[in-house]
Amino acid sequence: MATEATSWQKEQVSRAYVHVLATQGGYTICDWNVDKDGVDMTLRTRGLMVDVQLKCTQSPRVVRGGYSFDLDIETYDKLRDPDRSAPGHLALLIVPPDVGRWVTHHPESIVLACHGYWASLHGAGEARSKGTTAISLPEHQPLTSKSIGAMFDTARQLLSPAGREVN
């Protein structure tokens, strides 16, 4: 029988997931105690930073080509703000419906039975609704240590003179 996870359990497994990926990629992590700016974690490498808002679900909304998540407008506006010092991203972690299946222990490993996707919201357009806005998390953007590198590519472009002209 599936057990519905509480909000804090989803938050903690999301943090653990990103910690593992960042560690593998050699990135440093800053966990924020207060989510005042729509950011749960900031990742750093060689002076570049990316901000990440974490969300987790046991029942993802599947759409053609990926997933969709309804993000509150306040957080959306904070993450899309082009004046941020670090580009804002949404990361959605999808976990099995049964909490007992999230982690599998083996003699030589621990397996997290979850997968994640990400979307860059930096500079995104204004939401058309007032409560939430649907964020598309394409299947081709899995959250991996390699994709975190792509987030830093965006940050690097924003710092370059050509990136400043675009924004």
For residue 161, the model assigns a pLDDT of 62
What is the tens place of the pLDDT at every residue in 58-93?
A: 999 999 999 999 999 999 999 999 989 999 999 999
For residue 2, the model assigns a pLDDT of 62
Report how far Cα 7 is from the mean position of its chain's Cα atoms: 16
Which residues on neighbouring strands pair with residue 68, listed in sequence order? 61, 136
Q: Coil, helix or strand for 7? A: helix
Give every CB contact of residue 141 below 8 A, 6+ residues apart in sequence. Answer: 66, 117, 118, 119, 147
Contact indicator for 20, 115 with CB cutoff of 8 Å: no
Report how far Cα 63 is from the mean position of its chain's Cα atoms: 18
Tell me: pLDDT of 167 over 70: no
CA distance 63 to 70: 13
Region of residue 25 (left: phi > 0; alpha: psi -120 to 50; beta: else):
alpha
Contact indicator for 102, 116 with CB cutoff of 8 Å: no
Kindly indicate the confidence band of residue 41, based on its pLDDT and cuts at 50, 70 and 90. very high
CATH of domain 7-159: 3.40.1350.10
Tell me: pLDDT of 160 over 80: no
Cα dihedral 11/124/84/45 (nearest 10): 60
Q: Coil, helix or strand for 54? A: strand
* pTM score, whole prediction: 0.91
Percent of the chain scored above 90 by pLDDT?
Answer: 82
CA distance 24 to 146: 9
Return the sign of the alpha-carbon dihedral for residues 123, 89, 60, 8: negative
